[in-house]
Every structure is written in structure tokens, then in C-alpha cells.
Chain A
Amino acid sequence: MSHGLLLTFEITILVLAIFLGFEVISKVPTMLHTPLMSGTNAIHGIVIVGAMLVAGLDHKDTLTTVIGLVAVVLASANVVGGFVVTDRMLEMFKKRERREPDS
């Protein structure tokens, strides 16, 4: 595929993702704002994929690999920390729901 054609495909999915991002969370209650922020925070940890590619590809350039590895460290903290913090927040909500029927 030519570079220009690929770019148009990329821009197409980018624009679709904008609409999807707005649409998918349009009816979120206030109390979920913080967990949702934290959850989206974990999702942008997907940069780990980019960091792995930069660090891992065989390009024979030490500085690039080192920078890539630092990015891997940072992105892993984002991914793991993001999902764990979100889970801890939501764990609290779950406890409450279990209580509801018997109270």
C-alpha cells in the first residue's frame, strides 16, 4: 500500500475514534467520573506497544534502544498502576452493591 493511501486510512480511523470516544461515555454518572478518568488513564498506557517496538526493533542504534527501554519502563508503570488503581476504586463500589440487597 502506498504511503499516502495508508495515511488516509489512518486519518479515517482517527476521525471515527473521535466520535466513538465521545459517544461511548456520554451517559456517565458523576460518581463514576474519577474511576472513568483512571480507566482511560490506564488505556492510554497502550503507548507501551510503541515503546516496545522502538526498543525492540533491530535497528542497531544503541541510543534509540535505550530511549525505547526507558519508555517501556514508564509505559509499564502507566499500564499496571492505571489498571490497579482503577480496580481498587471500583472494588469499593462493588462492596456497596453486595450490601444493598440485605440492607
Chain B
Amino acid sequence: MSREVTNLLYLITIVTFILALRFLSNPATARRGNQIGAAGMLLAIIVTFAQNEVVSYWEIAVGMAVGGTFGAVAARKVHMTAMPQMVALFNGVGGGAAALISLAEFHLHAPDPGTLQWDISTAIMLSAIIGSISFSGSLVAFAKLQELIRGRPIVYPLQQPTNALVFAGVLAAGIAIAAGAEQQWLIWALIGGSALFGVLFVLPIGGADMPVVISLLNAFTGLAAAATGFELENNVLIVSGMLVGASGTFLTIMMGRAMNRSIANVLFGAFGQLAPATAAAAAGATDGQVRSASAEDVAVMLAYAHKVVFVPGYGMAVAQAQHDVRALADVLEARGVEVSYAIHPVAGRMPGHMNVLLAEANVPYPQLKEMDEANAEFPRTDVALVIGANDVVNPDARNNTGSPIYGMPILNVDESQQVVVLKRSMSPGFAGIDNPLFVNPKTVMLFGDAKESVDKLTASVKAV
């Protein structure tokens, strides 16, 4: 197949990707969008195979089978709750692939003086740095969300100087490569140093901010892919990579906006560093008594309410309690109680996380209320049942200027008549900050695993 035909077929792939992004922006067409994108990807792979210059068919096919099988099995088997870390993992390997391409290109061309022009070596430098950061950063994000390592920000003395030093080293190696240095160890140092920087850069970011970080690293991988396009003089890589780079950046900004935090604040704020000041400020507020209740007490409260609003959070997701929550809603509705769900845009670990889970449990769409709509309803709500949510209902975000989450829009559950909080223990939430809601006189706590507690509530409501 000639270069011209190849490029025209790649153009079809580019068009499918643009359509995929457009369709993914609308709930009615989103799934079709994803399928169109997949079809375009398949076309690009076939076209690449058909190029005359490609010789090692079998090796590539085996490699694709290995990677593809891993991807398919991992993606199929993962629970809906673990989706965020899966996205991080797949993003990381993509970044790793981009870094390896630059490594191979440098290895191949650098020993021949004069073959690497400045633009190619600059592209190699960029995809090596960005791809490696995306690779190792995504793996740390994966480990944090999978709870292989602590979700809380990890801080240590001289952290900022260390990071700056590593970054300076990476930059120096990068500039040397872009300027035409041909020593092989430089590219290895560049990739190793960037990978180290990726780890150091994500470690101090709190688990609650991981979605924003993953989104940013996703944009990074797009940029790295675009850079490999310059190395290989390949349009489909340049355009598709840049599309992801740009839309990923935009998406990251939108996610940050939903949490009322700037991206700079997420990346360099190190949530935890604010903690001492906050602890002092919040200490006064959380002095009150925590009241805990039995499932039977809460069941009576719910059964005789007119209007109950469920506020799901990450606790519901980890306990896989969405089906049980739906069952409780059914029992309540059978008694004539009006039930709805208040969905905070960043409840759970990713925007839209709760929508996905509740949709899985077949919760009717009209019962899901977005934040503004839900907040308008709390003053006439009898019972707000908070199921494993914490930071998104923390009144400190409204009142306490010293709180790290001050200014984040929250669900005002404390405006309802009564609040019931289902929670495993009194431990602070993912962001590691106190929540005065728990000591609010209107609030009772029902301790235990969300799934068990909800099941107990369902049984008790039936018995009322």
C-alpha cells in the first residue's frame, strides 16, 4: 500500500476519533461514540499492518494478543467501583508505550551522526519525558486508589527541593538530547529520571484528588503520543494524540472546577500540609457529642418520613451496596415515602462515579438529582441518609475558611430535618479532614459496613 493511500485511510481513523469525542459528550450517543472510536482504531491497526515496510508480522501479532488479552480480561473482570484505577492503569501503559517508542527511535538513529534532526530529537525528548511521567504517575495513582499504598498525601522533609532537583536533572538530559547529544545513556537517564519524577510528583497528592490527576496524566499521554507522531512523521499519531491532549486538558479543568479547586492547587497544594491549621480551626467545631443509633431506630425514622434523600458516596461504592440501596428505596416507596438520590458531581472517586453505580442498580433516572436541584430540596426533606459520603457533605466547605475544602460546593444535608450518616467508623474521610456534620445535633450515626447497614435497614423497615 502506498504512503498516500495509508495516509488517507489514517484520515478516516482521525474522523472517527473526532466523531467519537463528539458522541461521547452526549448521554444518548455516548456508547455509539465509543464503538465508532474502536472501529477507527481497528482500521488504523489494519492499515499499519498492510504497510510494505512492516516485516515482523508474527512478533507484532503475538505482542498484540498478549497485551490485548490482558486489557480485555482486566477490563471485563474489574468491579465498577474499581473503574478509576483501571483507567489509570490503561493510561499508564499507553504513556509507557510512548516513552519506549522514543527510546527505540533514539537508539536506532542517534549513533549515526547527522540523521537526527533537531525537531526529531526534540520530539524524542518530549515523548520520553511526558510518557515516562504519565507511566509512573499513573501507576502511583493506581496504587493509591487500589489502596496498595496510603491514599493520604505522602510528605517528607525536603520534598520540594528533591522534586526540583530531579526535575532539573531530567531537564538537563532533555536539553542535551534536543541539542543533538548522541550518548545512549542520556536517553536511559532521561526516561529513568522522568519516571522517578512521576512517582515523586503524584505521591504528595491526596487520594481525593486522584481523578483530577488521572485526567491530567491522560492528557499527558495524549501529548506524548502526538510527539511520537513527529518522530515517525505520522499524521494519525499527531492529530489523535493532540486531540486527547487538548480535550483531556479541558476535561481536567472542568473536573477541577466541579471541585472548586484550581489545577495548580491540586498539584502543589499537598492537601495535607494545610492540616495543622485546619485541625486547630476545626477542633472547636467537632467538640460536640456523636450520637449513634441502631438500625431499628433509623428504620422507624425512614418509614414514617414523607421525603427521604439518599446521599451516596465512596462508602457505598466500596461496599458494593448500590443494589441494596435500591432495595431499601423500593421498600420505602412501597410505603409511600418519596425517595430521591442527591448526586454530588465528585462523590466517589470520579465525577459521574455514583451515576454509573446507581444506573447499574437500575435506579430510575428521574430520581437522581444533581447538586443544585438536590440542595433546593433539602429544606423540605425529612431524612437525609448519607451512605458513605463524607467530604461532599462537610459543612466546613461552606463555613470554615481554614478548611482545605473551603469553597467547594457541597450538598447541604444539614438543612434537612434529620440526618443519618452510615459510616464504617469515626475515621476522617479520604481527604483526611474532620466533619462537623457528625456532631450536628440533627445527626445520628449508624456505624458499620454500608452494605450490611443498608440490608439491616431494609429488613427493619419491612418489620415496622
Contacts and interface: CB of A to CB of B under 8 A. Distances in A.
B97 A75 contact: yes
A26 B236 CA distance: 22
Interface string B94-110: 10111011011101100
Contacts, number: 391
Contacts of B351: 30-31, 33-34
Given A42-B38, A44-B221, A30 B370 contact: yes
B65 to A, nearest CB: 8
A77 B236 CA distance: 19
B352 A35 contact: yes
Interface centre among A38, A45, A79, A89 (most CB of B within 10 A): A45
B246 A10 contact: no
A7 B235 CA distance: 11
Interface in A10-24: 10, 13-14, 17-22, 24
B33 interface: yes
A50 B234 contact: yes
B98 A47 contact: yes
A29 B218 CA distance: 19
Contact of A39 (B24, B76, B86, B119): B24
Contact of A83 (B25, B38, B239): B38
Interface residues of B, number: 119
Contact of B101 (A44, A71, A92): A71
Contact of A96 (B64, B84, B224, B365): B365
Contacts of B55: 56-58
Interface centre among B60, B80, B234, B350 (most CB of A within 10 A): B60
B319 interface: no
B359 interface: yes
B94 A75 contact: yes
Contact of B57 (A24, A29, A56): A56
Interface in B322-360: 343, 345, 350-353, 355-356, 359-360
B362 A95 contact: yes
Contacts of A46: 13, 17, 41, 44, 225, 236-237, 240-241
- Dominant secondary structure at the A interface: helix
A53 B117 contact: no
B100 A74 contact: yes
A33 B54 CA distance: 38
A21 B234 CA distance: 18
A71 B224 CA distance: 13
A78 B246 contact: no
Interface string A23-66: 01111111111111111111111111111111111110101110
B21 A40 contact: yes
Given A33-B352, A44-B221, A45-B94, A92 B80 contact: yes
B435 interface: no
Interface in B58-103: 59-60, 63-72, 74-76, 78, 80, 83-84, 86-87, 89-91, 93-94, 96-98, 100-101, 103
5 contacts: A27-B25, A29-B27, A43-B244, A44-B225, A52-B45
Interface of A: 3, 6-7, 10, 13-14, 17-22, 24-59, 61, 63-65, 67-97, 99-100, 103
Interface of B: 13, 17-18, 20-22, 24-28, 30-31, 33-35, 37-38, 41, 44-45, 48-49, 51, 53-57, 59-60, 63-72, 74-76, 78, 80, 83-84, 86-87, 89-91, 93-94, 96-98, 100-101, 103-105, 107-108, 117, 119, 211, 214-215, 218, 221-222, 224-226, 228-251, 254-255, 258, 343, 345, 350-353, 355-356, 359-360, 362-366, 370
The 8 closest A-B pairs by CB, nearest first: A21-B246, A76-B67, A81-B71, A80-B71, A56-B54, A78-B94, A84-B75, A17-B242
